[in-house]
Chain A
Amino acid sequence: MNNKEFISKLAKRCGIAAAEAAAGVDSFVAVMTERLKENDQLNVSGFGVFEVKMRKERVSVNPKTGQRFLVPPKIVPSFRPSSKLKDKFNE
């Protein structure tokens, strides 16, 4: 399911126009992004947790050239599915 299919389905479900649904998705993603930027944890019951994680700096080696790089630290968004969701796919 791609973005387009997702929006059309969402529009149908909520009884709104596709454009409206698209705008709604955009603003919801914007809200989530904003919260994640603030290091907040987004807990969606029955679905999972969106959060950010800190990755420390590390040294990586290019196996071909043997060049060594110091990769800087970074913050990455992550998602942890709820146990309910996990089980759902393994039924």
Chain B
Amino acid sequence: MDAKLNHSDLSALLAKQAEISGAKAEAFTKAFFDIILEGLEQDGMVKINGLGTFKVTDVASRSSVDVNTGEKIEIKGHKKLTFLPADSLKEKVNQPFAMFEPVEIDEGYVDDSDEPAANETEGAQEDAPTVEDTPVTTRDEEPATVEETTATEAAAPQEAVEIPAIKEEEEEKKEEEMPAEVPAVMETATEEKEKEPKEVTAEEAPATAESEEQAKEATAESVAEENTASEQPAHKEVKNSYPITEPAPTAAEPAAKKKTGIIYTLFIIAAILVAVVIYLRPQLFGIVETGKETVTTVKTTPTKVVEAAKPDSVEVVAEQPAEEPYTFALVDELAAKSVGAITRGDTLLYVADDTIATHTVAADETLVRISLKYYGDKRLWPYIVQYNKLHNPNGLSKGMELLIPRLQPAK
């Protein structure tokens, strides 16, 4: 092993191998190399089977440059002894690497990262049906639209509240605070909220019923109904937007749920108070109604229903929930027209500001799964792609290390 053997060592080995005396072996090896030399001098080449061919070759003269002075010099032609090993010797020596064979490298391989990326987006669309563009463009468009929608949503409840505000200052304060909070919370909460608006309407119906029993005048009732009606579309608009909005981290859910619950009950109490106030001062109703008509278009349908049902107060209450699906559909349509065309998968823009973890990709993992694991949402995978500067989102391989960014909602 990596030893240096000289002539005598070789002779000793030969003596062992051929079972001859050491002196004889020594003489033999000496003769062996001497005859090679003689043969080279005579013919210029010696061939020994199993070892190879020794050959004297001519080297032509060539010009070169002196490395020290930079002058051009000519290297004169000379003779050179070369050794060409025999195939059997080459084969035996190369035994450790014998299993390797030349492999053709695929020429057609081109790293085309654009097309696979588009495919990946299509796959993600199953989860997020509204994603239509590539992640980057969606993100650019969205923040603006989200702000717009929230702005309109916020405006609706606030305007509705401003009318009773003329009568009671305290109420105004309460209510103005609430609607402002509602859309904000809505966006951060998850599906669970979908149930809540239903509960609210269920509660509202008895509430209005109570107020109607107290108030026998039809005008006052209609206003009360209108109040609730105008509030409901506002809720629904918000509601419609949030299945598409980004769910917040799961830890925030219970807290958000509780908060909205409180807000809703406060809202209902406020609505009842408004109804009572309007009953007590019916002369203000006229202004109220005209003012409200301009607020939202959605409101018109509930108002008609209420007006039709005016004589019988009980019917109004009964019809109110029945009307629900229709208004839902209407708001859906409106939302689709106004917002749907631009609202995409993740309507919240996040900013990756820090690395929270390093993830080693397992055998059958996808970006969607990793996103689900760290953010609880499948649709946030583009942020991982962006953060890691992956050129090919399909090129995820086992053992790859991904940095998981912390996502903060952008301001």
Residues of A within 8 A of B (CB): 1-3, 5-6, 9-10, 13-14, 23-33, 35-48, 52, 59-60, 66-79, 81, 85-86, 88-90
Contact = CB atoms under 8 A, between A and B. Distances in A.
A19 to B, nearest CB: 13
Given A29-B51, A72-B97, A89-B56, A13 B10 contact: no
A32 B33 CA distance: 13
Contacts of B173: none
Contacts of A70: 102-105
Contacts of A2: 47
B50 A6 contact: no
| Among all A-B residue pairs, the 6 with the closest Cβ atoms | A72-B100, A79-B83, A1-B39, A89-B79, A29-B50, A68-B105
Contacts of A75: 93-94, 96-97
Given A1-B47, A69-B103, 5 more contacts: A10-B32, A29-B49, A29-B89, A35-B10, A41-B4
Interface string B392-408: 00000000000000000
A74 B89 contact: no
Given A31-B10, A89-B81, A14 B48 contact: no
Interface of B: 1-7, 10, 13-14, 17-18, 20, 27-29, 31-43, 45-52, 54, 56, 78-81, 83, 85, 88-90, 92-97, 100-105, 107
Contact of B4 (A31, A40, A60, A76): A40
Given A14-B28, A29-B51, A79-B83, A6 B35 contact: yes
A76 B391 CA distance: 41
A37 to B, nearest CB: 6
Given A24-B18, A25-B48, A39 B81 contact: no
Contact of A27 (B17, B83, B102): B17
Contacts of B51: 29, 32-33
Contact of A35 (B5, B7, B20): B5
A23 B14 CA distance: 11
B18 A27 contact: yes
Contacts of A3: 47-49
Contacts of B29: 28
Contacts of A60: 102
Contact of B89 (A13, A14, A33): A33
A76 B47 contact: no
Contact of A90 (B47, B50, B79, B104): B79
B205 to A, nearest CB: 77
Given A41-B3, A77-B90, A85-B37, A67 B46 contact: no
A58 to B, nearest CB: 10
Nearest to A16: B28
Given A6-B39, A28-B29, A42 B100 contact: no
Contacts of B2: 39-41
Contacts of B4: 40-41, 43
